[in-house]
Structure 1
Amino acid sequence: MHSHHSHSGDYISHANGTLESMVATARSMGFTHYCLTEHMPRLSDEYLYPEEIEKEYNVTNLKTDFQKFLRHGREIQARINNEVGNDDFQILVGFEVEGIDSAHIRAAKSIMNDADMCVGSVHYVHGIPIDFNRDLWLEARAKCKENTTRCLYKDYFDLQYEVLTELRPQVVGHFDLIRLFEEDEIDPTTGMQSVDISVERDWPEVWSAITRNIEFVVSYGGLFELNSAAVRKGWPSPYPRLDLALAIKNLGGKFCLSDDAHTTEQVGLNYRKVLDYTQSELQLSHIYHLQLENGKAVVVSDSVSDLSKLDFWKQ
C-alpha cells in the first residue's frame, strides 16, 4: 500500500502529530511506500492562514520550518530505507507545491533538486484560498472577470496548467480541488442549476482546459492522485470526481493513491472507499506508485486485483 501525499504537525500548523508518528503509523498499517510532502513555504505574509497568524508566524518561520522538514525527512529516510532486513517499507521525501502565482512556481522549481518528488497543487486562485472555507471560495470567485463559478474553474485550471508545464510534478494533487466548496445554485451563464451542469457539455472552454491539462500530464508520465481526503470532507468519492476521473482514464492517465493525512488517524483513512471507486466506478486494472531506484523516483505498476487482496484491508 502507498500514499503520495502527507503532512505532520511538526511542520504544518493545520496538522497534528509528529512526522515520526506519521511514519510509524504508516509502517504499522502495512504501507510499503509513504511520501512525506510538507507544503513549500509561501513567499509573502499575505498568504498566511489564520492558524499561522495566531502563532505570530511570518514567511521566515515558514522557510525555517520547511528546511527543518527536509533535514528531518532525509534523516528518517536514511534510517528506514537503509535498515538491515527492511525490504518492505520505503520513505520518499518530497513537498507539496503552492501554485499561487508565477513567483511561487519558480520557487518550487528551485526546491525540486532537494526532493525525490513533488505534489503539484493549486490552493489559491487570484491569491485567495479556495479550499479553506466557502466565504473565501466566494471571494476568489468574485475576483474572476465574470464572477461566475464557470470563470473560477477556468482560472483554476489555467493556473494549474502553469504548475504542470513549469514543474512537471510527479504527482498531480487533488486535481479538482476547486469543486470543494461549490454549492448548488443557478449558473448565470447557462440558467441551469449547477448540480445539473455537465462541464463537458455546458462549459466547453473549461472542459478544454481540463483535457489540455490531462493530456500534458500524460505526455510526461505524471500520476494523478486518487486523494481520499475528499471523503472525510463530505464527498462520496476521492478527488477527482467521476467525470474528471473518467476523462483521465480515457485520455491514458495513470492514478496513484494518497491519503493526504494531517493526523495519524487519517493515515489510510477511507482507502476502502477509494478501492471501491477504482473497481466499481473507474474499473481500473492497475494503480501506480512511486518508488526509489538508484536514488530516483520511478513509476511502478500494481494490479488492482492484487492490491485488493492485501492484509491491509483486514484492519
Structure 2
Amino acid sequence: MPFSFHTHSGEFCNHASGRLEEVILRAIELKFDTIGLTEHVPRFEQEFLYPEESELKPSDLATKFEAYYKKANELKLKYKGKINILIGAELEYINEDHCNQLHSYLSKFNFDYLMGSLHHVNNIPIDFDQQTFSLALKSYNNDMEALSLQYFEDQFNLIKKFHPKVIGHFDLIRLFASQDYQLSSDIKEKIDRNIRYIVEYGGLFEINTRSLKKSLPYPYPQPDILKMILELGGKVTLSDDSHGAKDVGMHYDKVLDYLSLMGIDKVYYLVNSENQVKVEEFKGFENWFNNKFK
C-alpha cells in the first residue's frame, strides 16, 4: 500500500480543487497506507502573491493556513484507524527576510513534518506559467545558468534553516526551461552540496509524479540528479503532489518503471511512532504497485 507526502486541496490552495477531506477519502479508496497533508505556508508580502491571489491579502493566506491546520487535525482524528495521516506544510523560500519571518511564524504550530520546496527565484515565481518564468529568467539577463545557480543556492538556504523531512520537487527549476537544459559543473557542485547536507541530517527526496502531468519525461528529480542522489546515499520517497482528489495516485502506474530504470529497490516513508516521526523502509511496495496500478 503506497503513500504520498505532498498533497493540496482547493479548500486551502487556490490552484487546487475540492475539499481536503475528499483527498483523504480518495487515498482510503486506493488503500493508501499513509498520506501527508502539505498545504502551502503563507507569504507575508503582497508582491509575492500569485496572480490567482490578486484579490487576497497576505493576512487572508495566514487565516486560510491556520484554518487548514485546524481542519487537518480534525480529519486526522476522524479517520484514525482507516489511514495514517501526517500533518505537514509545504515551505517557501523567497528571500532571507521571508525565511526568518516564516521560521518565527511556524513556531506556533506542531507539524509532523515539513516539505522543503522552492517556487521563487529573485522574488519571482518560476512554476506558475511560462510567462512568469520568463520574467524570472529575464531578471538574470536570460542567463539560465545564473538563474539555476541562484535556485540551488536558495534551496540550500531553505534546507539549512528548516531541515525539512521531505524535499519537494528537487529540480522544479526545469519545468519551463528549454529542452536542451544541461547541468554545468558549477550547478552540479551546488546540487552535490545540497544533497550531501540533506543526507547528513536524514531528509528524504521525493520522487514526484506531477511532472508527468506537466509533460516532463520523468518524475522529479530527473535522472541525472536522481543518479547523484543515489550515489551520495540519498533515500527516496513517493509523492503524487495531488491538487485534489482526482490527482491522488496520479501517474503511480509509471513510477515503478522509473524506480526500476534507476535501479532503486528501496523506498522510504515517514511513520509516526510514539509521537515521533521516523524514517522507515517501506516493505513490499513492488507487489502493491503491480497489483493496483499495472
Please state which band the TM-score falls in when normalised by the shorter chain: over 0.9
What is the Cα-based RMSD across aligned positions, in Å? Answer: 1.4
Alignment of 1:187-206 (within 5 A): 194=180, 197=182, 199=183, 203-206=184-187
Matches of residues 51-66 of structure 1 in structure 2 within 5 Å? 51-53=52-54, 56-66=55-65
The alpha carbon displacement at 1:51 in A equals 1.7
Match of 1:50 in 2: 51
Q: Distance in 1 between matches of 2:138 and 2:204?
A: 32
Q: Is the 8 A contact 1:8 1:16 kept in 2?
A: yes
Q: Where does 1:1-315 land on structure 2 (aligned, <5 Å)?
A: 1-53=2-54, 56-81=55-80, 86=81, 89-110=83-104, 111=106, 113-144=109-140, 147-184=142-179, 194=180, 197=182, 199=183, 203-279=184-260, 281-303=261-283, 306-310=284-288, 313-314=291-292
Distance 2:288 2:222 in 1: 25
Tell me, in whole angstroms, the C-alpha distance in 1 between the residues paired with 2:211 and 2:275. 32
Q: CA deviation at 1:311?
A: 6.7
Question: Cα deviation per residue 1:36-68 (whole Å; 9 max; x = unaligned)?
Answer: 100000011111112211xx2111110000000
* Structure 1 stretch displaced more, 14-23 or 99-108: 99-108
SS of residue paired to 2:192: helix
Please give the per-residue CA displacement for 1:113-137, whole angstroms capped at 9, x wherever unaligned.
5211011010000010000112211
Distance 1:267 1:243, change over 3 A: same
SS in 1 for 2:103: helix
Equivalenced residues, count:
290
C-alpha distance in structure 1 between counterparts of 2:291 and 2:170, whole Å: 26
Distance 1:101 1:31 in 2: 36
TM score, norm. by length of structure 1: 0.89
Unaligned 5+ residue runs, structure 1?
Answer: 185-193
1:282 deviates by: 1.1
TM-superposition CA deviations, 1:265-291 (whole Å, max 9, x none)? 100010121111011x21112000011
Q: CA deviation at 1:89?
A: 1.8
Unpaired stretches in structure 2, ≥5 consecutive residues = none
* Kept in 2: contact 1:29–1:312 (CA 8 A): no
- What is the rounded CA distance, in whole Å, between the counterparts of 2:134 and 2:271 in structure 1? 39
Q: TM-score, normalising length from structure 2? A: 0.95
Q: Deviations over 1:82-120 (max 9, x none)?
A: xxxx2x620000000011111232233231552110110
1:142 Cα deviation (Å)?
Answer: 1.8
CA distance in 2: counterparts of 1:311 and 1:214, whole angstroms: 28
Given that residues 253 and 289 in structure 2 are in contact (C-alpha distance below 8 angstroms), is that contact kept between their aligned partners in structure 1?
Answer: no
Q: Which moved more, 1:109-118 or 1:71-80?
A: 109-118
Q: Distance in 2 between matches of 1:104 and 1:253?
A: 28
Describe the SS at the equivalent of 2:279.
strand
Look at both structures and tell me which one has the larger radius of gyration over its CA atoms.
Answer: 1
AA of the residue aligned to 2:135? E
Structure 2 contact 256–289 (Cα < 8 Å) conserved = no
Q: How far 1:313 sits from its partner (Å)?
A: 4.0
Q: Which amino acid aligns with 1:96?
A: E
CA distance in 1, matches of 2:163, 2:101: 14
* 1:188 aligned residue: none
Distance 1:24 1:63 in 2: 26
Q: Could you tell me how far 1:312 is from its partner in structure 2?
A: 7.5
| Identity score, percent | 36
| Cα deviation 1:117-174 (Å, max 9, x = unaligned) | 0110100000100001122112112222x53111111000000000011110000010
**How far apart are the structure 2 equivalents of 1:98 and 1:266?**
22
Q: CA deviation at 1:31?
A: 0.6
Q: Retained in 2: the 8 A contact 1:228–1:269?
A: yes
